[in-house]
Structure 1
Amino acid sequence: MSTFDVVDLIRTKRDGGVLSDDEIRWLIDAYTAGTVGDEQMAAMAMAIFFHGLDARELPTWTTAMIETGERMDFSSLSRPTADKHSTGGVGDKITLPLAPIVAACGVAVPQLSGRGLGHTGGTLDKLEAIPGWRADLDNAAMLRQLEEVGAVICAAGSGLAPADKKLYALRDVTGTVEAIPLIASSIMSKKIAEGTGALVLDVKTGAGAFMKTRERSAELARTMVELGTAAGVTTVALVTAMDAPLGRSAGNAVEVAESVEVLAGGGPADVVELTLALAAEMLAAAGVDADPAAALASGRAMDTWRAMIRAQGGDPDAPLPTPKHVEVVTAPASGVIQSLDALAVGVAAWRLGAGRARKEDPVQDAAGVTWTAGVGDTVTQGQPLFELHTDTPERIDRAREALADAVVIGADAAEPGPVVLERIAAP
């Protein structure tokens, strides 16, 4: 491979120029190997933040990141594969009921998930609230579980797109997280390397989301759909609402409990709606004609959930952890809830111990927030509205502060907005 001067490449992108395929491949390889330093890649990330990557640069950048590691292969499985990725939100427990529903319909779901950081929760943190459940599986165990059970939710191995792990950490400390080309290549390099045949993206938008505006969310969704399609993965995106949190819980054990309610045929309407919408997209993308609502109603999805939890060492019948301290926050006024701020709820759950400020921080299994009413519901002043769950009561005051202005109550009638705002697929 040719060798380049990294400073020349930084200057090119700084000045709005275009990098060649060879330059991009060399840069990613050299950075992964450590011959290009963090300070140089930080300068490149900032140049990309301001000037972007064009329609040729971005696929090359993504492929170069994939090629720094391994690619998984699910071709030995007896059923097609589909995966879902969410850009992260508050109360977003959708993966938990979704994977067993889709698996119960005949599609294998290799769901490589992550941990929470900041106000957005992590799927693995939630599942680790289940006694005995473990996130780490080797590839052989993962394949075996996909064949026997149909679904696996586990941690991604370090072999998938190692360039992304380095670059993600760098973006986090250099103010370049929000660059759409870098977000898209980060997500899609791992998902393409994962080897699934179909991918459905849940791109959140609104107060509790990473992307605050509908336009930016749709741009990110389109960019990722184009990358996936170019790589031969059937890719569809739904842009979904995240001004209000999903469901009635945000945290770890509390979200597992709500997911089990959904699998048992109950649960909050918005969680059920989004789960079934994503399930239908995954089944269609995998070429399987099945009704996810029927898999839910028949109990087959619950059976798959129990098998999936058991296969990873968990006990689906064990009581979930309960907090040492519960504090009730009451409604400040009587009337109709006009809005419920997802970010405020997410920050409260985080401050109670459900999330982490740094990757190495521990989380509390029992920490989180639950609420009894959402947008459009009528409340009476003084009625219980939120419950704050934590093992460390000294955290409660700061969680209360986060929720101080979370709810707007008025006299007017209100209705929750649509959950799915837009569908984006390849032309």
Structure 2
Amino acid sequence: MALLQRRKPSRFSRGYRDKPLLDFLGGDLWLWGLPIALILLAGGLIASTQRQAGLAEWSNHWTTGLAGLVAAWLLTRVDLQRLRSLLVPLYLINLAGLVAVRFIGTTALGAQRWIAVGPFQLQPSEFAKLAVILLLGGVLARFPVERPRDLLRPFAVIIVPWGLVFLQPDLGTSLVFGALLLVMLFWSGMPLAWIVLLISAIPAAILGGLHQAGMGDGYLIALLAWLLAMMVAALKTLPWPRLGALLVLTGQLSAAAVTPWLWQYGLKDYQRDRLVLFLDPAKDPLGGGYHLLQSTIGIGSGGLFGTGLLRGHLTKLQFIPEQHTDFIFSALGEELGLLGCGLVLLAFGFWSWRLLAVADQARSDFESLVVVGILAMVMFQVLVNVSMTIGLGPVTGIPLPFLSYGRSALITNCLALGMVASVQRHARLEARRRL
């Protein structure tokens, strides 16, 4: 039985017949146009953040974007189905890159994440996202999760790169691996209740940690209610209900009990500071809370229409350090206002809808899973980055796709675009042949 239920792909041939431009691009105009528009907009925002410093990283962003788009276009000519024999070698090459970071990587901002290649700094964890998506897609397409023990294969794919990235330390990127795994499991047909049970230890750990930190008995009551709900879910959905409920309860209680140890020894000092200051950045307005406070002030000062591109006062005077990377959304909010932020988020939302359409029309389960994995990767980063810059989430090192400055991240996103366009192009070509 087919893993995924998809409509007939005849719409591809009917909608794109005899359109030379679309044949040349390998995908529809929206699929290409929105990322290109975001890359162009990013150049202006990056230029605004660095006018006083006289840097030209905005032009580097455009140059990298152009190279990435050319690579994406070339990738549309590659049939992903024919790459399936190369999935494991690609995965192992990326693992080697993550291991190499531990020994020859360069350190910046308290983390060892980059490898110097001539004048460039490459971040292997960015490219590892695509390698993991490809291999996960291949594994889930061939071995769908029909029993709890079937989870061993996808977990085996994700655990090593996740651990290597977490040790860099790069908490943000490690969260991306977890998000794309959950979304791909759901798309492959795994019951939603099982996915909730998989992540149930996280809320238990948070609630237990807050209670042990003396934040009030309300968190203990919430923890008990959560444990009860998860036990009921286990009893009703798992094939071995009593044992499953016992294992779920044990796992959640263990997570709640071990949280203080993880807080003390599992996180770096700056990671703990970020989580604490997220709750109240005013505790250290000139230190750890400075980024969050200045970011929210900048976005708020933009109002509805913004101050105008290259005219943001906080942006121009560089009140926010490294604003051109992870905090580029604050520059967008100050200079283009709420309207500009809304349009950018709408663009991401519409682009996600296009990716869902491509995944729905893909020729195979493998290609559909790859597209959904890319969708999860991009939109999780958008969600976390925007939440961070408006003060609804802790500071993490997650860039805003296509907008944040960073060569490795931009090239990765462009390659992801090329993979999606390849799936769309080859689905359309196959539909034509069937006419």
Report TM bin, short chain: under 0.3
Q: Which has the higher strand share?
A: 1
Q: Which has the higher contact order (CA 8 A, sep 6+)?
A: 2
TM-score by length of 1: 0.25
TM-score by length of 2: 0.25
